[in-house]
Structure 1
Amino acid sequence: MRAKANRVAVLALLLVGVTGCAGGGRPVDLATVDSVERPAPVGVEENPAPPSTSAAPAPDCDPTRSFRALSPMPPPRQMPAGSTMKKIQDSGKLIAGVDQNTFLFGFRNPTTNALEGFDIDRVREIAKAIFGDGNKVQFKVVTSAGRIDALKNKDVHVVVRTMTATCVRWQDINFSAIYYQAGQRLLVDRASEVTSLGQLGGKKVCAAKGSTSIKTIADHEADPVPVQVDNWSDCLVMLQQGQVEAMSTDDTILSGMVAQDPNVKMAGPRFTQEPYGIGIPKENEDMVRFVNGVLEQSVASGSWASSYDRWLGRTGEPRPQPPAPKYRD
């Protein structure tokens, strides 16, 4: 009992000493906080340096023209000997570079953890045409900036990731025929009165690294401040937190964000044309022709329309006609 009483007495003395040093019970060493900065996404860059290719003149081409579709198409599991498709068949899986952050196009279902969306449907169509099974796919998540390198480094067989076909990109990779026509617009807070990029001079506007959107923002005569991030979802977070005045990319991507967040809206009309193509390594021209055959089959069978209705129909926009393929040979 005496030992316990001694411990209590010592604790009491310590408490008296602490409160005495604190000046009547007030805490010491208070930190003065003037403001709290919201954390920025990893890899965010303001006023990024233009890519080395931006200074070079764009080659003269029609980026929407691809190689004529393979005809007749080989049956599934019977790819031509020596073809790129036969090598993929023998490997047992199609490796596809995709997105997992673009709602309605390429996103991860939080319930099933499966990748879903309009772009994911295009991948599964290609796999089904090769294997007879649309599930024989290995998905690799790639950023906008990493799409071309993934193809050049042979990390993937195809990239299906809301990718605009451009003449500059055609120098490094091949594109399929256009499977969707999008256009760049603005996403702003619902209370904003902004309707054009021209109203955002000196204001921060967010887009993804490696996208055509970030270059459009940087090149605009009103001099908005381009802010680039790794993923489109990072732009949405920055807009929600008031760190940027707007974000800008293809209206298809923005439609998914509006569906997720009722506090934002699309503003103004399209101010670019963004024709989406499937990226394929430069040397695999036979694969381009095969994929174009798959796209023709998708439109003819109604699969393209069903996929549009399932994913993009929820935006309320009327379903457009599938882009008519244009071939260079």
Structure 2
Amino acid sequence: MKKLIPIAATTALLLTACSTGNYAATQIPTKPSPSAAAPPTPTEPKACTDGKDPLASYVPPATLPKPEEPVTGYLKTIRDRQRLIAGVSADSLHLGARNPITGQIEGFDIDMVKAVATAIFGTWEGHLELRVISSPQRIPSLQNGSVDIVARNMTINCERWDQIAFSAEYYRSGQKTLVPLNAKETSVKQLSGKTICAPAGSTSLTNLIKENPAVKPITADSDTGCLVLFQQGKAYGISGDDTVLAGDAAQDPYAKVLTAERFSEEPYGLGIKKGNVDFVKFVNGVLAQMKSSGAWMESYNAWLMPDLGKLTTPPPAVYGRTQ
């Protein structure tokens, strides 16, 4: 059966590497999926080899400095520059994707950095630069200082803590598998010998091979890259975060997600350059405000709830990291 690549996918292939200016929170209404089920109760990631909790971040300040109040450290660097530079995706539908109608990048991850920029400047408009990066570019972009923060469905884990710093958890995803609509398989363990795509530089690739070493893994630098390989028949399926796969399935009527199987826990954190502890604390304060004010839930309900089901509370923050 011939497949047509959706407009959203082909548009994403034409993205520029950098996007600046103002981005309105425009949402194209989405009808709730009748098959959407509430995410399972997450299990906590195991402690790192040094005994530290991978989810533990730095305690936020009791109160955040107001935009007109003086600041120091890396926050002052951002203030002096008059913009926050965020590394994001522009092809992960509902997380960070360019709206083909407005041309603006929008989604759940984008709402997170809009909130940070608003806390710094009083408004994100005119003060937020979105730089489109691939999965493999997330950590290098922070290490070389080309972005201040990464909001790109990035899993917090021990190995990455050695390279960068993370905010407190702002969402808990899990890995699933997307297959053709008429596929008989119900588990990734049944996909032995099949070519399955996962983003390069992602935990999805590692988890896929661990879950079924008999699959034939291939990679792409972006989520849309995997979707295109699937639509071209070069990949039988895609393995990745349920948030990303829900967006893929929404773009392709010939695809489905194996919703009954979730074989990993993927706690998302906002990535920040290692050493910028004061900025991490500030960001944690912003996330805490979003969760307590209802802004987090409003964003979740707008972008993710229709495909992933209702949530009653955001993921709790874990603090206590000192170095």
Aligned equivalent of 1:191: 182
1:39-69 Cα offsets, whole Å, 9 max, x none, are xxx9xxxxxxxxxxxxxx9665321111111
Q: Which moved more, 1:307-316 or 1:291-300?
A: 307-316
Q: Secondary structure at the match of 2:301?
A: helix
Distance of 1:142 and 1:132 partners within structure 2: 26
**Alignment partner of 1:104 out of 79, 88, 94:** 94
Alpha-carbon deviation of 1:220?
3.4
C-alpha separation in 2, matches of 1:93 and 1:184: 34
Looking at structure 2, the residues matched to 283 and 316 of structure 1 have their Cα atoms a distance apart, in angstroms, of 35
Does residue 1:74 correspond to 2:65, yes or no? yes
Structure 1 residue aligned with 2:73: 83
* 1:169 alignment counterpart: 160
User: For 2:189, what is the secondary structure of its paired residue?
Assistant: helix
Residue 254 of structure 1 deviates from its aligned partner by 0.8
In structure 1, what is the Cα distance between the partners aligned to 2:317 and 2:253? Answer: 36
- Name the CA distance, whole Å, in 2 between partners of 1:220 and 1:300: 37
Tell me the TM-score normalized by structure 2. 0.81
Contact map agreement 2:154 2:270 (CA 8 A) in 1? yes
The equivalent residue for 2:223 is 232
Pairwise CA distance, 1:319: 2.6
1:70-103 superposed Cα distances (whole Å, 9 cap, x missing partner): 22211123242x2211110111000000000000
Aligned residues: 273
Mark the CA change 1:243 to 1:279 in structure 2 (over 3 Å): closer, same or farther. Answer: same
Instruction: Report the equivalent of 1:321.
Output: 313
Match of 2:193 in 1: 202
**Equivalent residue, structure 1, for 2:303:** 311
Matches within 5 A, 1:1-329: 60-80=51-71, 82-135=72-125, 136-267=127-258, 268-315=260-307, 317-329=309-321
Letter in 2 for 1:255: A
Distance 1:196 1:110, change over 3 A: same
Secondary structure at the aligned position of 1:163 is classed as coil
- What is the CA RMSD across the aligned residues, in angstroms? 1.6
Q: Secondary structure, in 3 states, of the residue corresponding to 2:80?
A: helix
- Following superposition, the deviation at residue 313 of structure 1 comes to 2.5
Question: CA–CA distance in 1 between the matches of 2:297 and 2:138?
Answer: 26
Q: Whole-Å Cα distance in 1 between the matches of residues 198 and 291 of structure 2?
A: 31
CA 1:309–1:83 in structure 2 vs 1: closer, same or farther (change >3 Å)? Answer: same
Post-superposition shift, 1:314? 2.5
Larger Rg: 1
Cα pair distance change 1:60/1:224, threshold 3 Å: farther
* Partner deviation per Cα, 1:211-254 (whole Å, 9 max, x = no partner): 00011122334421110111111111221222112110000111
Work out the CA distance in 1 between the residues paired with 2:77 and 2:227: 40
Question: RCO higher in 1 or 2 (8 Å CA, sep ≥ 6)?
Answer: 2
Q: For the residues of structure 2 that align with 1:189 and 1:236, how far apart are their CA atoms?
A: 11
Q: Is the 8 A contact 1:79 1:85 kept in 2?
A: no
SS at structure 2 position matched to 1:206: strand
Kindly indicate whether the alpha-carbon contact (under 8 Å) linking 2:198 and 2:240 is maintained by their aligned counterparts in 1: yes
Q: List structure 1 segments (4+ residues) > 4 angstroms apart after TM superposition.
A: 57-60
Q: Distance in 1 between matches of 2:255 and 2:52?
A: 37
TM-superposition CA deviations, 1:94-136 (whole Å, max 9, x none): 0000000000000001111111000000010000000001121
What TM-score comes out, normalization by structure 1 length? 0.80
SS at match of 2:209: helix
Percent identity of equivalent pairs: 42
How many Å separate the matches in 1 of 2:130 and 2:253?
Answer: 30
Q: Structure 2: where are the runs of 5+ without partners?
A: 1-12, 14-47
Unaligned 5+ residue runs, structure 1? 1-41, 43-56
Q: Is the 8 A contact 1:207 1:229 kept in 2?
A: yes
